[in-house]
Amino acid sequence: MNRRMLSRLLCLVLVCLLAAPSLFAQKGKRQSQRSGASRQLDLSQAEYYLTEGMKFYILDNYTKAIDYFQKAAEADPQNAGANYAIAEAYNKMKRYADAIPYAEKSLRLDARNKYYHLMLGGLYEKDRRLPQALKVYQELIRLAPDDPEPYLDLAAIYLQQEKYEDAVKAYDRIEKLIGINEEVVRQKQQLYLKLNRLEAAIAEGKKLTEAYPDEPRYLILLAEIYNSNKRTDEAIPLIEKALLNGGGANAQLRLILSDLYRTKGQVQKADQELEAAFGNPELSADIKVQILADYVKSHNEEESRNNALRLAAQIIKSHPESAKGHAVYGDLLMFSDQKTQAKDQYLTAVRLDNSIFEAWQQLVRLEAELGQTDSLRKHTDLALELFPNQSIFWYFNGFAHLAGRDYFKAIDALEEGRRLSVGNQELLNDYNAMLGDAYNATGEYLKSDAAYQAVLAKDPDNAAVLNNYSYFLSLRGEKLDQARQMAARLVEQNPDNPTYLDTFAWVLYMLKDYQQARKYLEKAAKGSPNGNILEHYGDVLFQLGETEKALQVWQQAKQAGKASDKLDQKIAQKKLYE
């Protein structure tokens, strides 16, 4: 409850409980006009109604309170307090137009009562009758020139009328009555700034710093005015002084000083102050995270990135339980290509707060990139319990199961993710590409072909699908002409990729075009002499009748590794086994 509301409530209580008897002291004069007994009865009734009305007023039952207050006014028409009470009740109901006549009457009956003036002036303001409100406050000032309260109301009226010079004069008067006051100084500063009188606004600020030299807050307020008007050189000493005057442990001051130094191009000092602020545990982790995010956006230099990493480390040191702190540290580590360390930070973040979607997302992306399929499967399972409608987690869950050759679980996950990805064609293509692989592995070739074809219908140059689809068709010995067209398209677009060259060669092999297959396998073997490619090369040589050379290449394939389980038999028997 503000001071004005409290004053009016107290006034109303006094009106109902105390004021009425004091009014009765004048009854001798009135009784000359009426019979004493009758008058006494009227006054007793008025007192009763006022007391009863006050009970309902306190209970916020203003309608019922008004009924009693009006009965009090009828019993004693000269009772200013009863009219004041009615006006106050209507005011509480925001029925300002209804309240005004009663407030006016209460003031007519008791023209020197401060609270009646304040009530009527306030009602005029709320009813947008500013000239009338102004007159009421001016009259109150005439009656009580040393009371600061009506000057505050007067200043408020002038502000609404945009009479800023008059408002300043009202605040000057208040200052003379009560001395230097922060609220008054701040109001005058804002007015002077509206009037483009910067020096006057600064002078007001200096009043506070001179009156309270050991109060850092007033130095900050003055520094803000300097800084907002691009007078950074004058702002910096004030903040430095505030730090010396007991604000050395104030992280907010460090942040302000950091910004000021940065504005002046003093980057090293700015970073030092920022780091000092981040080392203060009293500055919340959330604020630090936001500041760091803004810092990263505006600073791309390598040195700044290193500073950002140090700041993030400070957050973790000061707030080890901050999940957001660990998450943002993870972002910075990943940006610096420190992926293993980044993963650890994301893992800590989700352990501290499993609701941070972005941290889960970055964690599983990193595990997929690092090839950590076991932990990827585990963490996507956990993430899906929390975010079952997020397609990305179904995607990586399916990816993990596919990599682990758990094809049926992979299919379940990928089908669910595909269902959730309708409308996102790029993601649908990724799902269909993996479903093609998974269904092929389970022997569901119709579903596999349909998934691959769905990708190629939207992205005919999708290298992964062209490669896998054509290769699996060659292994199955089906649709070899279609497989040849896809593999040829693949190699045409990627002429130096050993894997794609091997795929095309194997399709040609299945078509018994051994000479062409040899050509592409020789090129593939030079680019990537892995066991699978070398074994295929040896198979082609054997088909061309070059048995000894085929045997040599098969032996090379065994040394290289990753060949088929029939390779040893081929070498031992010097014979092709398919």
d(CA 73, CA 79): 6
C-alpha dist (Å) from residue 544 to 177, 518, 537, 556: 112, 9, 11, 19
pLDDT mean over 506-524:
96
pLDDT at 28 over 50: no
* pLDDT recorded at residue 22: 35
The DSSP element (H or E) to which 574 belongs, if any, is none
Decide if 229 is inside a domain.
yes
Residues 533 and 498: beta-carbon distance below 8 Å: yes
Structure tokens belonging to residue 541: 């040589």
* pLDDT recorded at residue 12: 52
Angle, CA 379 vertex, CA 322 and CA 397 arms, to 5°: 140
Phi first, then psi: give them for residue 220, nearest 5 degrees. Answer: -65, -45
What would the pLDDT profile of 311-354 be if each residue is shown by its tens digit? 999 999 999 999 999 999 999 999 999 999 999 999 999 999 99
DSSP 173-229: HHHHHH---HHHHHHHHHHHHHTT-HHHHHHHHHHHHHHSTT-HHHHHHHHHHHHHT
Indicate which CATH number applies to the domain containing 261: 1.25.40.10
Nearest to 394 by CA among 383, 407, 405: 383
* pLDDT recorded at residue 551: 94
pLDDT at 246 over 70: no
pLDDT mean over 47-56:
92
Give me the residue label for tokens 């040599």. Answer: 552
State the pTM of this model. 0.68
Angle, CA 204 vertex, CA 202 and CA 206 arms, to 5°: 70
What pLDDT band is residue 17 in, cutting at 50, 70 and 90? very low
Share of the chain above pLDDT 70, in %: 92
What would the pLDDT profile of 84-135 be if each residue is shown by its tens digit? 999 999 999 999 999 999 999 999 999 999 999 999 999 999 999 999 999 9
Which amino acid, residue 366?
A: L
d(CA 533, CA 570): 15
What would the pLDDT profile of 170-191 be if each residue is shown by its tens digit? 999 999 999 988 899 989 999 9
Structure tokens belonging to residue 181: 């006051």
Decide if 270 is inside a domain.
yes
Decide if 207 is inside a domain.
yes
What pLDDT band is residue 433 in, cutting at 50, 70 and 90? very high
- Number of separate domains in the chain: 1
pLDDT mean over 515-526:
94
d(CA 302, CA 299): 9
* pLDDT recorded at residue 245: 74
Decide if 571 is inside a domain.
no
| Of 201-205, 359-363, 384-388, the least confident | 201-205
What would the pLDDT profile of 120-133 be if each residue is shown by its tens digit? 999 999 999 999 99
* pLDDT recorded at residue 41: 61
Decide if 252 is inside a domain.
yes
* pLDDT recorded at residue 23: 34
Decide if 120 is inside a domain.
no
* pLDDT recorded at residue 527: 77
Average pLDDT along the chain: 89
| Of 10-24, 376-390, 488-502, the least confident | 10-24
DSSP 17-33: IIIHHHHHTTHHHHTTT
Decide if 344 is inside a domain.
no
What pLDDT band is residue 38 in, cutting at 50, 70 and 90? low
pLDDT at 31 over 50: no
What would the pLDDT profile of 279-316 be if each residue is shown by its tens digit? 888 889 999 999 998 888 877 667 778 889 999 999 99
Decide if 205 is inside a domain.
yes
Which amino acid, residue 510?
A: M
What does the DSSP 8-state code read for residue 61? -
CA 503 to chain centre: 49
pLDDT mean over 509-518:
96
Structure tokens belonging to residue 92: 């509480």
Tell me the residue range of the domain where 256 lies.
180-283
